[in-house]
Amino acid sequence: MSGEIESPCTKICQIHPEARLCVGCLRTIDEITGWARMTPEDRRRIMDELPERAPQLARRRGGASGRRRV
Q: For 14-18, what is the mean pLDDT?
A: 93
pLDDT at 45 over 60: yes
Q: What's the farthest any 2 CA atoms get from each other in the chain? A: 48
pLDDT at 34: 97
Q: For 22-39, what is the mean pLDDT?
A: 97
Q: For 3-15, what is the mean pLDDT?
A: 92
In order, the DSSP letters of 10-42 are: -S---B-TTT-BBTTT--BHHHHHHGGGS-HHH
d(CA 8, CA 28): 12
CB 57 within 8 A of CB 19: yes
Cα distance from N-terminal residue to C-terminal residue, the chain: 38
pLDDT at 11 over 70: yes
